Amino acid sequence: MKFLDLAKVNIRSGAGGAGSVSFRREKYVEYGGPDGGDGGRGGDVWAEAVDGLNTLIDFRYQQHFFAKNGRHGMGKARTGADGADVTLRVPVGTEILDEDQETVIADLTQVGERVLLARGGNGGWGNLHFKTSTNQAPRHANPGQEGVERTLWLRLKLIADAGLLGLPNAGKSTFLAATSNARPKIADYPFTTLHPNLGVVGVDGAEFVVADIPGLIEGAHEGRGIGDRFLGHVERCAVLLHLVDGTSATIAEDWRAVIRELERYGGHLNDKPRVTALNKVDALEPEARAAAVEALRAVAGAEVHEISGVSGEGLEGVLRALRAEIAATRAAEAAEETEEAPWRP
């Protein structure tokens, strides 16, 4: 299945049906009068987060979603049928943005969450509604209310616990393949990964989801390489794993390049907890390995995990570090939600 994380859609709710102008005229019936029914309500447009989807590719082939109009009212005080609703089925983690691509209308992060995007128009009143003691034969009815038409953007941000960062060929896809059942494409050239990949990782009986995104290069925020548009997929992560290629001759500068792109991207990505790992250590001689670890520790100012996605060295330790950060972050988030929740007696 092809991956798509941004889609433009046009939606329109249904118009309400018009009210009816009708009179009851029956032989041998002493009292006639107006009996025009009301128009039916127009259908609504909804968005719902569903399980089993991880791409917006369906919205490449269908961009228009129109709810049905309400039916007109009829005589004998019959109300017109309501128009059918239409629902946009989107993956969990989808943001719905206004036409300006900045105003967030909804953020669907749980399976089953629904949001009303456009309300259908009300049906018009039939002439039965206008009957009074002084106007016993009204000859007018209301038209139905028009529907709402708008253009929206859908932006998918994958739901993951940990996100992988690094330059192209830092070994992110190899790490994901070595620690999970995911099978991302792996090759010895840059930008092998062209779209995000998810994998479920297990350590010490606990599982969490890891997201691998295409590599960043200097100037990604300006569109160089694949750009930074995939960074949105790690905005929801509790922790970031920054992988640095141990065989590179410019380890410190490689680390700085990724950090600069995080700072320029914004979205508080640079404030998230980070675990730093020197990858491909199996390809280094002991002296070169020690020098590489020291260079990375000096620039990162934090503990450096020595790992190899190929040999498996150090993977269990870095997974434990990720799990600890995820648990701490989620606990802090839960505490914040408890404090912000309104008190109810």
Task: Please indicate if the annotation marks 103 as binding a ligand.
Answer: no
- How many Å apart are CA 155 and CA 314, to the nearest integer? 36
CA-to-CA separations, 268 to 165, 232, 263, 265, in angstroms, rounded? 15, 11, 8, 9
Task: Please indicate if the annotation marks 21 as binding a ligand.
Answer: no
Task: Please indicate if the annotation marks 310 as binding a ligand.
Answer: yes
Task: Please indicate if the annotation marks 233 as binding a ligand.
Answer: no
Task: Please indicate if the annotation marks 195 as binding a ligand.
Answer: yes
Task: Please indicate if the annotation marks 308 as binding a ligand.
Answer: yes
Task: Please indicate if the annotation marks 190 as binding a ligand.
Answer: no
Q: Which two tokens stand for residue 5?
A: 């994380």
Task: Please indicate if the annotation marks 286 as binding a ligand.
Answer: no
Task: Please indicate if the annotation marks 279 as binding a ligand.
Answer: yes
Of 72, 82, 84, nearest in space to 37 by CA: 72
Task: Please indicate if the annotation marks 90 as binding a ligand.
Answer: no
Task: Please indicate if the annotation marks 191 as binding a ligand.
Answer: yes
Task: Please indicate if the annotation marks 163 as binding a ligand.
Answer: no
Task: Please indicate if the annotation marks 185 as binding a ligand.
Answer: no
Task: Please indicate if the annotation marks 205 as binding a ligand.
Answer: no
Task: Please indicate if the annotation marks 196 as binding a ligand.
Answer: no
Task: Please indicate if the annotation marks 214 as binding a ligand.
Answer: yes
Task: Please indicate if the annotation marks 9 as binding a ligand.
Answer: no
Q: Which two tokens stand for residue 284?
A: 């280094």
Task: Please indicate if the annotation marks 168 as binding a ligand.
Answer: yes
Task: Please indicate if the annotation marks 213 as binding a ligand.
Answer: yes
Task: Please indicate if the annotation marks 280 as binding a ligand.
Answer: yes
Query: Quick count: other Cβ atoms within 10 Å of Cβ 57?
Result: 14
Task: Please indicate if the annotation marks 296 as binding a ligand.
Answer: no
CA-to-CA separations, 96 to 2, 107, 115, 258, 337, in angstroms, rounded? 21, 6, 10, 28, 23
Task: Please indicate if the annotation marks 3 as binding a ligand.
Answer: no
Instruction: Could you list the residues known to form a binding site for Mg(2+), using ranges.
Output: 173, 193
Binding-site positions read 166-173, 191-195, 212-215, 279-282, 308-310
Indicate the annotated binding residues for GTP. Answer: 166-173, 191-195, 212-215, 279-282, 308-310
